[in-house]
Amino acid sequence: MATEPVVVDAGEGPAPVIMPRMVNIAIIGTFIILFLGVLYYARGFFLPLLLALLITLAFLPLVRALSRRGIPPAATAILIVLGMGGGLVGLALLLAEPTSRMLAEAPQIISELRERFGGGGGGPLSRLSEASEQIQEMADGTDEPGAPQKVVLAQPGIISWIADTLSGIGGTLGATLLFVVFLLASGDLFLQKLVRILPTLSDKKRSLRVVHDVESEVSRYLFTITLINFGFGAAVGLSMAAIGMPNPVLWGVGAALLNYIPYLGALVGMALAAAIGLITFPTLTMAALPPLAYFICNAIEGSVVTPLTLGRRLELNPVAILVALAFGGWMWGIVGALIGVPLLVVVKVFCDHFDGLTKFGEFLSGEPTVEVAPGPEAAVAAVSDAGAQRVADVVKS
């Protein structure tokens, strides 16, 4: 198949350099692969930075409003970080006792689940496990005389994995709060730099409008979804306490965090509620109450509360959500899965404000729209007099 050449300006040379289109595509593909590799192997740096950027976008409107009232951005940033740090420490102290008790009871819980579902030693799962072990032994040939011995390295248990995961999350949160202090304390510094380097007044106005719209929409989404998740966690915790499930506070916090992961978070929460309910209650009728209560809370939140609160502007394509969850989980683990959808919202809002990216933003949206994206002239004309005055102030400074 013939490829169309791409003409690239070589600068001051007498003739342009003709580059095949496939070479251009190969260069872009190589850059994307290398960029993803850097994000993966340098996740210890990029993950706290992305978290800090999300938090900064959420709190920048507050910092700017207080700055207009004479409060320095640095003071506001320190107060915000101190409040967040104090909240995290208080939450850790609140969950320390139920978490340690759950980790101590984990072997017993796993044993009871195996006994109940495996039938003690004669159940179908137990027989299937014994058969698979016999087949593995036959394949390895360990019964033959003189067969070489295999050395098997013991894998860390689930408790060790949980402890390592929690310690990694703690380090990530500490680095995130450090980034947040400096990003929030800078205030409008980056916006002022952006306005100064743009050549024309119309570009300055449009960039200011786009940045403020992105900040307001992302801030609204993050605060709204966080309040919804807190309410959902409180509802789940109260439901579990009313049913008689152990550790209702832990259930509430876990449900709030899992609700940041659409679809998969609800499935994991209901599966855990069903498993703990089976070993907590003696009858199947009582054991069905915890997952049923979790399902009812999730159905009310997903079909009533969130659509009425957020509206349809920030609805996302379910396929794009699943791709973002899978990519974030593969790239950065649990924390990556938690921030996958908020990052997707940020990308969608940015795409909706740039003409060249509106098609990609339309793909990310949940519902097809018939509105035509306004061009640069319409965007410039929509800038308010207050925004123009702010640009003039920034340029003068």
DSSP notation for 54-78 = HHHHHHHHHHHHHHHTT--HHHHHH
CB 337 within 8 A of CB 44: no
Q: What does the pLDDT read at residue 277?
A: 86
For residue 306, the model assigns a pLDDT of 83
What is the pLDDT, as a whole number, of residue 382? Answer: 42
pLDDT given at position 242: 92
Q: What is the pLDDT of residue 386?
A: 46
Handedness of CA 365, 52, 77, 195 (dihedral sign): negative
- Give the closest residue to 292 by CA, choosing from 333, 242, 331, 327: 242
Q: How many CA atoms lie within 13 A of 34 on its CB side?
A: 6
What six digits make up the tokens of 318?
A: 């379910």
CA 187 to CA 61: how far, in whole Å? 10
What is the spatial distance between Cα 11 and Cα 211, in angstroms, rounded to a whole number? Answer: 33
Q: What is the pLDDT of residue 18?
A: 66
As beta bridge partners, residue 18 has 7
Give the residue ranges of the chain where pLDDT is below 50: 1-3, 6, 121, 153-154, 369-388, 391-392, 394-397
What's the rounded Cα separation, in Å, for the pair 287 and 356?
53
Q: Nearest 5°: CA angle at 51, between 48 and 53?
A: 110
Q: Give the DSSP H/E element, type plus range, for residue 7.
A: strand 5-8
**3-state percent breakdown (helix, strand, coil) of the chain, nearest 5:** 75, 5, 20
Give the HSE-up count for residue 38: Cα atoms under 13 Å, Cβ half-sphere.
Answer: 7
Q: What residue spans of 119-152 are helical by DSSP H?
A: 124-140
Q: Please count the other Cβ atoms lying within 10 Å of the Cβ belonging to residue 59.
A: 22
What is the model's pLDDT at position 368? 56
Tokens, residue 86: 């104090």
Give the whole-angstrom CA distance, residue 397 versus residue 390.
11
Estimate to the nearest angstrom the gap between the alpha carbon of 197 and the chain centroid.
33
Bridge partners for 379 per DSSP: none
